[in-house]
Amino acid sequence: MLTIAISKGRIFADSIPLLAAAGIEPAVDPDKSRLLIIGTNRPDVQLLVVRATDVPTYVEYGAADVGSAGKDVLLEYDSDGLYEPLDLNIARCRMMTAARVGYHPAGQRLRVATKYVKIAQRYFAAQGIQAEIIKLYGSMELAPLVGLADCIVDLVDTGNTLKANGLEPRELIMHISSRLIVNKAAMKMKHAQVTEFIGHLSQFVANA
């Protein structure tokens, strides 16, 4: 059995053609079902529906053999217990700093609100900027509006979320996309099945 960990929403939607390229069709749409273990047209493949941030945990501990996770999630998870053989080139966006339109902080120490603490710490350290990182779990856009932070570090795609909240994108930290991750033991124990799966996805990504 090949067990694939995947999250609902945009990653799942973008993954349908990738799975199809590997001959896999989910039995139900997880966005329309409450099932967490989903069978497929192939008796030897099943899907686990997990939170996006939990995908690396399921794969590292071997509860799933492979999974699809955003580079943002992987950098925050920060483990060398996973293989990351392929950029799936889906769920593409940018990790950016953002602040209130026209705002320029006056103090010595920048206050930064973010869900992405490690990425933010590394970025500001590399820039030689003293930053106090304030961990939030969502709705980061609010923080600069109410004086909690000078700026935020968040994902940006169209920029509509920032704009709707009177914020503007500032510095690009990195481009983000989803990656295929593989459990290290599964790579050895299920070598044929895993390499065949990676091969189908690689071919699809290369031709996309």
Q: Does residue 155 bind ligand ATP (CB under 6 A)? A: yes
Q: Does residue 52 bind ligand ATP (CB under 6 A)? A: yes
d(CA 165, CA 145): 8
Closest to ligand ATP by CB, 13 or 129: 13
Closest to ligand ATP by CB, 42 or 159: 159
Binding site partner of 159, from ligand PRP, ligand ATP, none, Cβ cut-off 5-8 A by kind? ligand PRP
Q: What 3-state DSSP class applies to 140?
A: coil
Q: Does residue 73 bind ligand ATP (CB under 6 A)? A: yes
User: 178-205 as b/e, with b when 16 or more CB fall inside 10 Å?
Assistant: bbbbbbeebbeebeebbeebbebbbebb
d(CA 199, CA 21): 10
- Give yes or no for a contact between 93 and 158, defined as CB atoms under 8 angstroms apart: no
Q: Which element (helix H / strand E) includes 46?
A: strand 45-49
Min dist. Cβ of residue 50 to ligand PRP (A): 15
Closest to ligand PRP by CB, 168 or 196: 168
Residues that bind ligand PRP in the complex, under the rule CB under 6 A: 138, 154-161
Residues that bind ligand ATP in the complex, under the rule CB under 6 A: 7, 9-11, 51-53, 70, 72-73, 91-93, 155, 157, 176, 178
